[in-house]
Amino acid sequence: MFWIFLEKKTLNRKAFWVPLFILIVFASIRSYLVGTDTGSYTADFRNLVDPDYYIFNSDIEYGYQLLEYFLLEITHNYFWLFFITSFLIVYSYLKTIKKISIDYALSVFIFITLGFYTFSFNGLRQGIAIALCFLSLPYFLEKKLYKYFGMVILASFFHISAIIMLAFYLLINFLKIKLEFKLILCFIFSVILSQKIINYMALHNERYTHYTEKSEGGGYIILAFFTLMGFIFYITNRNLRNDNIVYAKLEELYLCGIAFVVPLALLGASASGPQRFLIYFTVVIIFLLPYTIRDLKYYLVKVFFILFGIVYFYLTTNRFSNLSPYSINPIFEFF
């Protein structure tokens, strides 16, 4: 963030390559002990699996398995898995932020502090899928149907949940009804079909069986936070919604996604299960918040949010997904 600020003040441009490098390195040199699921992602590398005996699992998306297979042909150092995937993820985010955001520095800050950056430290396959969907947002906004669908289908080869974004493209770009009716439609659709969808996924893929299991910690606090932010966007940005088509579409995607996910959360399933759909929609807060803060025109609001973002990052990083303590891959331990 310091470098972004420095480059803006000295050269009046959006810093890209240095922040990209820093964020990739931090994600790449970590130990497999950082992140709840990281151990399973790196198991074949750490166990020195011979690629000639690599077994493709029908329960895991083939896009990720092909990536893993080709890497095993070259190396058994899981650093390269982290490096290639973090490059793809971080590049997708920064490139899209640079293209769409009205406040580049604030959007990068949100990307880091609200957990979108560290999400892939744990859910690597879905992290790739979400990043590819995020990269396709310009196609979403410009109504480039084939390019958008192509990107989302590519994302689904890393995590099948990305397919849901096809339906929301059609809902937002082609269904000409008021936003409020779209929200009601998403909520009713989710109430009627969410349980059936989850059961169908569990029936055909045992990896999703835990999606149907009840959980005490259903991620309700995080869902409540993003729902509250959606309410704030809705009541404060009516004029912006009418005057700015980019903002209007992104806000619709965010709000419709919240309306879709709430019934999933009410199933009481594990937070690592169906509520992972939430991040496909909430990630556009990276763009919505700068609009809202700009229109409020109070400098203290921005200062308050920056302080809030730091606290949010600290709490979520220490409480969830075994991200803390951060430790380094042993090959980089020089002391």
Q: Is residue 269 classed as helix, strand or coil in its secondary structure?
A: strand
Burial grade of 38 (CB within 10 A; 0-12, 13-18, 19 or more): buried
Tell which residue, 16, 25, 21, 108, has the closest CA to residue 326.
25
* pLDDT at residue 272 tops 70: no
Tell me: pLDDT of 217 over 90.
no
Residue-wise pLDDT tens digits, 69-84: 999 999 999 999 999 9
In whole angstroms, what separates CA 135 from the centre of its chain? 11
% of the chain residues with pLDDT over 90:
71
Angstrom distances, CA of residue 33 to CA of 23, 43, 321, 327: 18, 11, 11, 7
First to last CA, the chain: 28
* Rounded Cα–Cα distance for residues 134 and 250 (Å): 11
Q: 195-199, 215-219, 277-281 — which is least confidently predicted? A: 215-219
Distance, CA of 227 to CA of 182 (rounded, Å): 16
For the residues 208-226, what does the mean pLDDT come to? 67
Indicate the domain borders of the chain.
1-122+305-335, 177-296
Please report the beta strands in the chain, taking only residues with DSSP state E, as ranges in sequence order.
none
Pairwise pLDDT comparison (194 vs 88), residue with the higher score: 88
pLDDT of residue 201: 63
> Do residues 98 and 104 lie in contact, with contact meaning Cβ atoms separated by under 8 Å?
yes
pLDDT tops 90 at residue 18: yes
Sign of CA dihedral 194, 288, 94, 123: negative
**Mean pLDDT for all residues in the chain:** 90
pLDDT range class, residue 269, cuts 50, 70, 90:
low
- Report pLDDT for 228: 94
**Least confident residue range of 47-51, 152-156, 195-199, 309-313:** 195-199
Instruction: Quote the distance between the C-alpha of residue 310 and its chain's center.
Output: 19
Q: E-assigned strands of 9-95?
A: none
Whole-model pTM? 0.92
**Per-residue pLDDT for 199 more than 70?**
no
For residue 255, give both structure tokens. Answer: 């709000």
The pLDDT value recorded for residue 153 is: 97
The pLDDT of residue 298 is above 60 = yes
The packing angle between helices 124-135 and 79-100, to 10°, is 30
What are the distances in angstroms from CA 144 to CA 107, 130, 131, 138, 165?
A: 24, 19, 18, 8, 14
Using one digit for the tens of pLDDT, what is the confidence trace for 237-248?
888 898 899 999
**Amino acid at the residue 100:** I
Alpha carbons 275 and 269: distance in angstroms, whole number? 8
